[in-house]
Amino acid sequence: MRLLPIVTAIALGLGASAAVVADDAPAPAPTRVAVRAAHLVDVKAGTQRDNPLVIIEGDRITEVRYDGQVPAGARLIDLGDATLLPGLIDCHVHLTGDPTEIKGDYYEAVLKRTSIDAAILSPTYAKRTLDAGFTTVRNVGADDYVDISLRDAINRGDIPGPRMLVSGPPLGATGGHADGTTGFSPWIEFHDVNGVADGVDAIRHRVRENVKHGADVIKFMASAGVLSAETSVGAPQYSQEEMNAVVDEAHRWGKKVAAHAHGAEAIKMAIRAGVDSVEHSSLIDDEGLKLAKQHGTYLDFDVYNDDYILAEYAKKGFPASTIEKEKMVGRLQRENFQRAVKAGEKMTFGTDAGVYPHGWNAKQFAIMTKWGMTPMQAIQAATVNAADLLGMTGKVGAVAPGYYADLVAVNGDPLKDVSVLEHVGFVMKGGDVDRNDLKR
């Protein structure tokens, strides 16, 4: 999509200055675009401003002005009464799968599909995510490095999709949440590239493998999971020594660490090990909240997907034990989310999309405000805070000079009713318009 204008510009430039030696020719000025709307949610200041005009050159924002003056030569995109926000960020997705693939037979999905199926379908999920206004995602867990190929295809411009930070296969203990053969016959073997690693040396080696193959972030399973076959939901699955090794090794290579942890003890062990974010955080206790604050650890509560799992997963043939675990954890997770908000913890936005359909990411905002956040806090969790966790402050998560031109717009006031973000009408990523239903 970007190729055509660039090629045209080069052709025009050459035609107009045929006598000039190519080496001395000035680079053609990037196309200048001005995006106008009625309001802008300023996530850094925590305020809303009226009559913004966002000036974009190439893939970056160069200026945000409020005098209504469209610079000479700029192409105007007028979004009328809409409210502009920075492109949204989801810090916990799995773009290589979607529950709609499982049509009543859970084991068909587990036993008859491969990563090639995942690779074929993942561009569709990436596009749905971008269309929903999520211009950056952190993909925390995919077998066979499908996530790395997906990220690279998007970065090359081969397919549309959000900016992706990816983990590759998540690390975890034998028999734990990262071990896909738990509960199967011992004679069944999967030949996928997964993240199962036990003991300090094997863990360090596994981290290095992920880094070698292009992971941006390291994900590991500190505790048991809900949607896998172990009996306990919360129990730690690595020793303190093993968790320390994951974090020490990842940080040495300059990679942040995301820990999957439901249980109170596993959450505290992960925080003590120095992880950058705790994912799920479901059963966090007071001591865990205190520790997270001391260490500056981001907490991510995926508080929406419980509704979807309880409504749909029994129909999909998931084991009854899984549904029972979800019932137990879901309610407690929302109560603990509320306690974390009250305690003033560092909170981000991660949904576990892939557990529920891609493109529904914004449904989590309404649950976050129902359980104690203001709409502004929920939006900040998915913008400035998320960018900070991802190490992308200055690039994404705000509408400001120097940032990527990642913008979304909605009709209605997201600071009054945050659920309007479920119906984003305009999406721009890096200066390219992905979709615009707000055309005037």
Q: How far is the CB of 125 from Zn ion (least distance, A)?
A: 14
Q: How far is the CB of 238 from Zn ion (least distance, A)?
A: 17
Q: How far is the CB of 223 from Zn ion (least distance, A)?
A: 12
Q: Which stretch binds Zn ion (CB under 5 A): 210-218, 268-276, 344-352, 416-424?
A: 344-352
Q: How far is the CB of 54 from Zn ion (least distance, A)?
A: 33
Binding characters for Zn ion, 304-343, by CB under 5 A (x = yes): ----------------------------------------
Q: Which helix (H) or strand (E) holds 280?
A: strand 277-280
Q: Which is nearer to Zn ion, 298 or 404 (CB)?
A: 298
DSSP code, position 62: E
Q: How many residues at the interface with Zn ion, by CB under 5 A?
A: 1
Q: In whole angstroms, what is the distance from residue 105 CA to residue 400 CA?
A: 48
Q: Which is nearer to Zn ion, 144 or 352 (CB)?
A: 352
Q: Which stretch binds Zn ion (CB under 5 A): 58-66, 150-158, 350-358, 414-422?
A: 350-358
- Calculate the dihedral angle through the C-alpha atoms of 180, 185, 188, 190, rounding to the nearest 10 degrees: 0
Q: Which is nearer to Zn ion, 36 or 255 (CB)?
A: 255
Q: By C-alpha distance, which of 203, 178, 146 is closest to 279?
A: 178
Q: In whole angstroms, what is the distance from residue 290 CA to residue 230 CA?
A: 29
Q: How far is the CB of 28 from Zn ion (least distance, A)?
A: 44
Give the chain's radius of gyration (CA, Å).
Answer: 23
Q: Which stretch binds Zn ion (CB under 5 A): 146-154, 312-320, 336-344, 351-359?
A: 351-359
Q: In whole angstroms, what is the distance from residue 366 CA to residue 370 CA?
A: 6
Q: How far is the CB of 140 from Zn ion (least distance, A)?
A: 6
Residue with nearest beta carbon to Zn ion:
352
Contact 182, 224 (CB under 8 A): no
Owner of token pair 């209504």: 68
Q: Which is nearer to Zn ion, 98 or 352 (CB)?
A: 352
352 touching Zn ion, by CB under 5 A: yes
Q: Which is nearer to Zn ion, 43 or 347 (CB)?
A: 347
Amino acid residing at 418: V
Q: Which is nearer to Zn ion, 90 or 434 (CB)?
A: 90
Q: How far is the CB of 233 from Zn ion (least distance, A)?
A: 14
Owner of token pair 């929302």: 334
Binding characters for Zn ion, 199-218, by CB under 5 A (x = yes): --------------------
Task: Tell me how far CA of residue 262 lies from CA of 215, 299, 322, 372, 417, in angstroms.
Answer: 24, 11, 14, 20, 30
- Calculate the dihedral angle through the C-alpha atoms of 329, 331, 333, 337, rounding to the nearest 10 degrees: 180
Task: Tell me how far CA of residue 19 lies from CA of 6, 23, 411, in angstroms.
Answer: 21, 12, 51
300 touching Zn ion, by CB under 5 A: no
Q: How far is the CB of 122 from Zn ion (least distance, A)?
A: 15
Q: Which helix (H) or strand (E) holds 60?
A: strand 60-65
Beta-bridge mates of residue 41? 48
Residues at the interface with Zn ion (CB under 5 A): 352
